[in-house]
């Protein structure tokens, strides 16, 4: 009995000592419980975030969710820059043939790329997202689908012969959303593919490389016109970004695509304009 009491007093004293000497140990022994709680919290939180994302992709970016038109963001506040994660992509079509590039065309702006497809070819969602518009424009897109993606981008698929999805439907990257066609203002079946950020069109070939059936880089950064830091400036942003060299790349092509000067690319990577680029080589561009 006495022995037992002494032992428990000793234990208590030891415990007190250990609190005094090493509060860290005590904290450490509690940590697993804390972590567990946090894990539960974050699971619930993640589920909630996921649910909101599903209901309303790009919630933090986009002011509205409107089904009836493509262009609804005239008053949206554009961030100075926004990096779009392209990693979860799927090429919208297996076709590698660009028949018309993005850019001025016959006095009009061609706001997407045209990719050769045949009537009935499967057209797929470029990323996970939610279908915003399924509509028809006789003099324009023909039968078209607009999808807003979780990464902040919207993609438009025009001239379809058939739409396979409905408005507000959740889609996964690679899910068939329509069939290739020749509807609307179109001569010869093709897919008209647009990429837009908050309504602002971006050249899809800066993100999607149809001939190589791949993305151009893991991310694409949108810069609001005029907000971009001067290329080569010492404080040109703290974000470090990389580009993987592909077949056919040259320093000037990469520089143009990533919006930096060749000089800056050389500075960042310790190379010169005469350095031979290897396919797969990783270059820092910011
Ligand atoms: Zn087109």
Residue 171 alpha carbon to ligand 1 centre in Å: 23
Give the angle 55-57-61 at the CA atoms, nearest 5°. 130
Residue 192 alpha carbon to ligand 1 centre in Å: 4
Helix and strand numbers (H, E) in the chain are 4, 19
Residue 187 alpha carbon to ligand 1 centre in Å: 10
pLDDT in tens, the chain (286 residues): 444 444 444 444 444 444 444 445 555 555 555 555 566 667 777 777 677 666 666 767 888 889 989 988 887 788 889 999 999 999 999 999 999 999 988 778 999 999 999 999 999 999 999 999 999 999 999 999 999 999 999 999 999 999 999 999 999 999 999 999 999 998 899 999 999 999 999 999 999 999 999 999 999 999 988 776 544 444 444 566 777 788 888 888 888 888 888 888 888 878 888 888 888 777 878 7
Give me the CATH topology for the region 81-212. Glucose Permease (Domain IIA) (2.70.70)
Q: What pTM, to 2 d.p., does this model score? A: 0.65
Distance CA 223, CA 216 (A): 17
Distance CA 161, CA 174 (A): 18
Distance CA 133, CA 74 (A): 17
The CATH architecture annotation of domain 242-284 reads Roll (3.10)
Reading the block at residue 122, the tokens are: 């499967």
Paired strand residues for 162: 179
Domain boundaries, the chain: 2-55, 81-212, 242-284
């Amino acid at each position: 009995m006495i022995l037992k009491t002494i032992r428990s007093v000793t234990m208590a004293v030891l415990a007190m000592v250990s609190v005094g000497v090493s509060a860290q140990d005590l904290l450490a022994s509690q940590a697993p419980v804390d972590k567990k709680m946090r894990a539960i919290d974050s699971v619930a939180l993640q589920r909630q975030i996921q649910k909101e994302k599903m209901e309303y992709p790009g919630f933090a970016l986009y002011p509205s969710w409107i089904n009836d038109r493509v262009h609804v963001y005239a008053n949206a506040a554009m961030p100075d820059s926004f990096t779009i994660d392209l990693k979860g992509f799927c090429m919208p079509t297996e076709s590698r043939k660009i028949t018309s590039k993005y850019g001025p065309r016959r006095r009009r702006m061609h706001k997407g790329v045209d990719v050769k497809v045949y009537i009935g070819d499967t057209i797929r969602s470029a990323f996970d997202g939610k279908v915003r518009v399924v509509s028809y424009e006789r003099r324009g897109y023909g039968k078209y689908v607009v999808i807003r993606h979780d990464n902040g981008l919207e993609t438009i698929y025009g001239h379809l012969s058939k739409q396979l999805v409905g408005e507000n439907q959740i889609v996964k990257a690679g899910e068939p959303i329509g069939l290739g066609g020749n509807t609307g203002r179109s001569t010869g079946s093709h897919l008209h593919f647009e990429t837009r950020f908050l309504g602002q069109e971006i050249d899809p070939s800066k993100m999607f490389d149809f001939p190589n059936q791949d993305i151009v880089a893991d991310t694409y950064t949108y810069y609001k016109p005029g907000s971009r830091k001067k290329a080569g400036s010492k404080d040109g942003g703290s974000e470090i970004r990389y580009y993987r060299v592909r077949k056919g790349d040259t320093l000037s092509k990469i520089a143009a695509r990533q919006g930096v000067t060749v000089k800056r690319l050389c500075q960042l990577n310790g190379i010169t304009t005469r350095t031979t680029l290897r396919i797969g080589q990783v270059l820092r561009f910011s």
